[in-house]
Amino acid sequence: MEFENTIGLETHVQLKTNTKMFCSCLLQTGCEPNTNVCPICLGYPGALPSMNKEAVKLTVMSGLMLGCEINRHATFDRKNYFYPDMAKDYQISENEHPLCIGGGVEITRADGTKKFIRINHIHLEEDAAKINHYASTSGVDFNRGGTPLMEIVSEPDMESVDDAIAYLTALREMLVYAGVSDCNLEEGNMRSDVNISIRPKGEARLGTKVEIKNMNSFSGIHAALEYEARRQRECVISSIPIVQETRRWDPDAMETASMRSKENAHDYRYFPEPDLVPVELDEATVEEWKALLPEMPAARRVRMVEAYGIAEYDAEVLSQHKQNADWFEAAAKGLDAKRAKMLCNLFLGDVMALMNETGKAISECAMKPQELAALVTLAADGTINGPTLKELLPEIFEKGGDPVAIVNERGLGAVSDTGALEAFVDQAIAANPKSVQDYKAGKKAAAGFFVGQVMKLSKGKADPKIVGRIVAEKLSAL
């Protein structure tokens, strides 16, 4: 029997706010445990929550980017459960009336086909504290407790592991673009509970769902889903019933393990949060927040291809990081198609190599967009040659500076005068008779040797293309 997967994701995203969801405690990473806490986020009796408007705004902006309907009347509820990471024994969340309804994300599969993954809703809640396990003890750090957390719940529209990764990749890109979250998986800014079931191919009814909790890496999600899909198939083949449960991923054993039977909504005894008023949004506020949204990454890629004449792949790489795309577009402003393509190639090659080498983001280097544009223009106009461009780039990246002024001050302009270059070629040929004989004997690589000698004689200023032509002409005439 042939089976198919049904996958849905509940993605938790920590919002980029300065303070926590219901108190004024600062959100900072790397602090000593339990230093950014107060009676509210520690759950002291009688401590009253106060809503973070910025978190509401960022959640609404996320919903607008994802095509959701914004609920003008949203309410908070208490989700009751007993666990050390939630001191007051309930989590303030949204159940009945979440902020965002519907929407979705379009993904592109490896074969080029597109699929729309629907979103059921997005709700806002407070994050739990972090439990740290040691050799013989465990500790609870409440610094994370109360962090504004947006949960994006997809419909079970994903049919493969690759669909799930494509969905998360696109979702992360959009949220980072909008500036609502850093979505740093290593720091836990973005975590997913993954739900998977299998059913006979063509069957309409969904199979029994299994949830894998708190996955915070794409590679882990990929491996966990592959394992779980295989395990469920083996269960059906062996007539072992699949039970609805929560499982955890063991990265060492590369398998999932049962944690507990799956809770349902009634297990949490949801009831309205009595200490918070509903969120009431008027049209003007929603429109104001909508105006803050950036251009969508997919739309930006299309526009960049049309505006700068660059390849679709190059536009995709550039637009993956908004900061890179913004910087490139600032540099490309006013350049013609030829120079824009040169700029693109230089940015994706040498500039990104320098970023990796130095560990600096493009905004952290000293080079300004107009300085790289000026460097490209000098090369495109033939004022400097390729080797000189490569020589100057690391210096300008590190220190900044006007390329035109640097070239003029140091006399780095390319030597393209034919008479001067012919003299250099004659000098190189006269000084290397053995290489001349090698060339005559059929070793055509000797021509490259002479080009190199001329570059040395000209102190790197000669135009290699012109030199190559002159060398070929003179060697052929000997």
Domain of 427, CATH number, reads 1.10.10.410
> Are 22 and 79 in the same domain?
yes
> Are 258 and 310 in the same domain?
no
Question: Is the predicted pLDDT of residue 261 greater than 90, yes or no?
Answer: no
pLDDT-derived band at 475 (thresholds 50, 70, 90) equals: confident
> Are 331 and 186 in the same domain?
no
> Are 47 and 191 in the same domain?
yes
> What backbone torsions phi and psi does residue 129 show, to the nearest 5 degrees?
-70, 170
pLDDT-derived band at 265 (thresholds 50, 70, 90) equals: low
Q: What is the pLDDT of residues 7-24, one digit of tens each?
A: 999 999 999 999 999 999
> What backbone torsions phi and psi does residue 214 show, to the nearest 5 degrees?
50, 55
Structural domains in the chain (count): 3
> Are 317 and 368 in the same domain?
yes
Which structure tokens are listed for 22? 């219901």
d(Cα 333, Cα 345) in Å, to the nearest integer?
A: 16
> Are 36 and 154 in the same domain?
yes
pLDDT attached to residue 104:
97
pLDDT-derived band at 414 (thresholds 50, 70, 90) equals: low
CB-based burial label for 373 (10 Å; 0-12, 13-18, 19+): buried
For the chain, how many residues are written?
478
> Are 136 and 68 in the same domain?
yes
pLDDT attached to residue 218:
94
pLDDT attached to residue 277:
96
Q: What is the pLDDT of residues 208-223, one digit of tens each?
A: 999 999 899 999 999 9
Question: Is the predicted pLDDT of residue 416 greater than 70, yes or no?
Answer: no
Q: Within a 10 A sphere around the Cβ of 291, how many other Cβ atoms?
A: 8
pLDDT-derived band at 412 (thresholds 50, 70, 90) equals: confident
Report the candidate in 209, 210, 171 with the shortest Cα–Cα distance to residue 191.
Answer: 171
Range of the domain at 311: 297-410
pLDDT-derived band at 76 (thresholds 50, 70, 90) equals: very high
pLDDT-derived band at 262 (thresholds 50, 70, 90) equals: low
Question: In Å, how far are 316, 335, 354 from 321, measured between CA atoms?
Answer: 9, 22, 16
Average pLDDT, the chain: 91
User: pTM (2 decimals)?
Assistant: 0.81
For residue 349, the 8-state DSSP code is: I
Report the candidate in 401, 426, 394, 410 with the shortest Cα–Cα distance to residue 461.
Answer: 410
> Are 104 and 165 in the same domain?
yes
pLDDT attached to residue 474:
76
Question: Is the predicted pLDDT of residue 80 greater than 60, yes or no?
Answer: yes
Name the H helices within 359-443. Answer: 369-380, 386-399, 403-410, 418-431, 433-440
> What backbone torsions phi and psi does residue 58 show, to the nearest 5 degrees?
-70, -35
> What backbone torsions phi and psi does residue 56 show, to the nearest 5 degrees?
-60, -45
Report the candidate in 318, 347, 362 with the shortest Cα–Cα distance to residue 177.
Answer: 318
Question: Is the predicted pLDDT of residue 417 greater than 60, yes or no?
Answer: no
pLDDT attached to residue 444:
75
> Are 277 and 329 in the same domain?
no
Question: Is the predicted pLDDT of residue 260 greater than 90, yes or no?
Answer: no
DSSP three-state, residue 294: coil
> Are 90 and 171 in the same domain?
yes
Q: Which residues, in sequence order, are bridge partners of residue 415?
A: 462
For residue 281, the 8-state DSSP code is: -
- Percent of the chain scored above 90 by pLDDT? 74
> Are 343 and 195 in the same domain?
no
Question: Would you say 17 and 59 are in contact if contact means Cβ atoms under 8 Å apart?
Answer: no
pLDDT attached to residue 127:
96
> Are 282 and 304 in the same domain?
no
More confident residue, 112 or 40: 40
Last residue within a domain, chosen from 374, 394, 410: 410
Mean pLDDT value of segment 368-396: 91
Q: Within a 10 A sphere around the Cβ of 399, how many other Cβ atoms?
A: 10
Question: Is the predicted pLDDT of residue 70 greater than 80, yes or no?
Answer: yes
**Who contacts 316 (Cβ-Cβ below 8 Å, separation ≥6)?**
301
Which structure tokens are listed for 79? 């989700």
Last residue within a domain, chosen from 373, 394, 410: 410
Question: Is the predicted pLDDT of residue 386 greater than 90, yes or no?
Answer: no
d(Cα 230, Cα 212) in Å, to the nearest integer?
A: 14
Question: Is the predicted pLDDT of residue 163 greater than 80, yes or no?
Answer: yes
Question: Is the predicted pLDDT of residue 420 greater than 70, yes or no?
Answer: no
Last residue within a domain, chosen from 410, 442, 467: 410
